[in-house]
Amino acid sequence: MSATVFLLTPPFTQLNTPYPATAYLKGFLNTKNISSFQADLGIEVTLALFSRSGLQDLFDHIGRHLPENPSENISRIIALQDEYITTIDDVIGFLQGHNPTMAHRICKRDFLPEASRFAQLEDLDWAFGSMGTQDKAKHLSTMYLEDLSDLIRECVDEHFGFSRYAERLGRSANSFDELYAELQKEYTYIDHLLIRLLQQHMDNVQPKLVAISVPFPGNLYTSLRCGQWIRKNYADVKVAMGGGFANTELRSLSDARVFEFYDFITLDDGEAPIENLIHHIEGTKSKEELKRTFTLVDGAVTYFNNKSCSDYKQAQVGTPDYSDFLLEGYINAIEVVNPMHRMWSDGRWNKLTMAHGCYWGKCTFCDISLDYIRLYEPVAASLLCDRMEQLIAQTGQNGFHFVDEAAPPALMRALALEIIKRKLVVSWWTNIRFEKSFTRDLCLLLKRSGCIAVSGGLEVASDRLLELIQKGITVAQVAQVNKNFTEAGIMVHAYLMYGFPTQTAQETIDSLEMIRQMFAAGILQSAFWHLFTMTAHSPVGLEPAKFNVKKETEAIGSFANNDIVHVDESGAEHEAFSYGLKKSLLNYMHGIGLEEPLQKWFDFKVPKTKIAPDHITQVLTHDLYSSSKPTSKIVWLGRSPVVEHFTKSKKGSQWEMTSLVFQDKKGTHSISVNKEQGDWLAEMLGKLSVSNAKTYTLQEVMDSYHASGFEDFELFWDNKPVNTLHKVGLLKL
């Protein structure tokens, strides 16, 4: 098939689901009637390599080019090559979900050949002891593939990695020299495989423009190889590069050699730039009319940004289009035991965005000066649900990952209500800020709509540093919000940071103690520590003196510029804490070592924590954020109750009562109240039903109560038995 634009994701991103950038662009191009074809060469290279014929070719190649003195591990894999070739198709088929019964054979540990990656399994037995057969088999199969990747790295291509190919070459490459030198060398084995697949697509699609998305440093080298080959073999086809790497790293690009590989590089949202590029290639727009685009003019890198061309609103960009992808080919791996990280590698997720940018936009470590975060624009809940329904119809998958910087609580509430109204059956997860807006009832609503997990930045669990970061949260607030999510049945993952400017050793240990207590209290299920990195577009990077740090160099490179080496003279030796922080967390996630002193995790003397051992428990004894406003929306998610009247007697007195019996999925719940109030409540629940167009505020409910001749609304509404009805779906939002 021919198409105007060939949208290309180079190796390697995720193997379980397509990276969504090209699907977003294809959806937009559909609205403009511009034909396009998309391909994820990451999964295509993986499937070509990890197949019976692919491994046969690989081992034949290694046999002809075996390095001197291969390691014992590599010698073992080569000796077992027949076992690898015989089993590979079964393993890939199993990871694709096509042959689930293979799990039983894989788990017996006598079907797959095993090399050095399996040695770590002894350490992980405690973590995987409760895993089901399918999950354990996925993990064993992942170890098997990692063994093969070790073989490829040692014997064939030192840059190989499933999701970060040649990442070292692309990460913070202030100079293009090393990458450029690498690209002058002969093709590697993986390069040949990549180019063979690329050539097949180019011959079929015959595009005018190839648009290459580079989200990460690990995609950069292969994108340059693709551009290099296309420009040499398809002189009339233009090559454009964009994506997350360009948006953050290439904003000050000046090295003309980069344009030996690409004709154009675009920044930020891709819709308007790609549309203008197509018009330019077709001769209907000049270079000066390009939008946020670098190109070469008279040998010099030149940036064009037509200010008269505005970006498209989120309602105008169309629904992401996942056609053309090999959706049945993606594989579900379980590499690590972190439950949130596992969701990145296991399961097919349709990717969507609730809102462009970040509604908070203040965190001092974040690139808040860049448009992808600075420009906040939410999508209407009804339109989001329309897009979800379209994607379910197209892909057959009802799992959604909302890839927001931070999903807004009000929009999450509106989306959840819309999902429930439409009776959509979906599973979804997203990134949030630990806002006090996430009350018990909002979390219950999100759970009912299909929300299974949230991740959010706790960063440094220290109120002083959270204020310096301008995070807008406190540790106590995070603990309460985490409790609300956890009790609703939604998994919570926290992004943790160490090494923020001026952070002391005492604050690092106190932060770890806060995390220990959260795991011990059962309000945190997953977390990960990141070492603070100063970036060029963050407040810390733009004004380091404000944060008592110094840049190691002021020079701006001619190629990538984002990560900045800095000196923190007033802080601790942050990297020394790295191993102990991560080791403790791995144990905490599995309920191990929670009563051990913090010193246990470090091989050097650390300060004693100053945090009281029951600090988090005390914080959780009262909900600071539970009071309802008169403007709160009251929603009933349950079924109509069975209403019965009965007479109650006590000490010779009798009075009429109403019994309301509620049936939900887990069982029966009943309450009894005075007859007239019970009749009013039963009628009111019908009005409050989520299926009704009108929504009522707490004030309107109270007015109705008083209009019916009752007094003391708070006494009726906020006390048992009515305030237990959140369990069956009466929510204050």
Same domain, 150 and 172: no
Give per-residue pLDDT as tens, 413-462.
999 999 999 999 999 999 999 999 999 999 999 999 999 999 999 888 88
Q: Is 84 inside a domain boundary?
A: yes
Residue 240 is part of which domain span? Answer: 1-43+161-319
Domain finish residue from 132, 155, 178: 155
Q: Is 519 inside a domain boundary?
A: yes
Q: Is 325 inside a domain boundary?
A: no
pLDDT for residue 128: 54
Same domain, 608 and 642: no
Domain finish residue from 155, 174, 192: 155
pLDDT for residue 377: 87
Q: Is 335 inside a domain boundary?
A: no
CATH number, domain containing residue 202: 3.40.50.280
pLDDT for residue 123: 54
Domain finish residue from 571, 595, 619: 619
Query: Could you identify the residue written with the tokens 């990134």?
Result: 431
Same domain, 207 and 300: yes
Q: Is 324 inside a domain boundary?
A: no
pLDDT lower than 50: segments of the chain: none
pLDDT for residue 126: 52
369 and 562 Cβ atoms separated by less than 8 Å? no
487 and 556 Cβ atoms separated by less than 8 Å? no
Q: Are strands 209-213 and 5-9 parallel, antiparallel or unpaired?
A: parallel
CATH number, domain containing residue 456: 3.80.30.20
Same domain, 289 and 355: no
246 and 214 Cβ atoms separated by less than 8 Å? yes
Same domain, 27 and 73: no
Sign, CA torsion 203/205/207/210: negative
Query: Could you identify the residue written with the tokens 């975060």?
Result: 373
Same domain, 139 and 198: no
Q: Which of 125, 128, 117, 176 is nearest to 151 (CA)?
A: 117
Same domain, 244 and 112: no
Same domain, 675 and 726: yes
Q: Is 53 inside a domain boundary?
A: no
Same domain, 644 and 514: no
Same domain, 290 and 276: yes
pTM of the model: 0.91
Q: What domain count does the chain have?
A: 4
**506 vs 25, 471, 503, 511, 519, CA distance in Å?**
48, 20, 8, 8, 20
Q: Is 327 inside a domain boundary?
A: no
Q: Is 337 inside a domain boundary?
A: no
Same domain, 133 and 196: no
Q: How many CB atoms lie within 10 A of CB 621?
A: 7
Same domain, 165 and 145: no
pLDDT for residue 554: 66
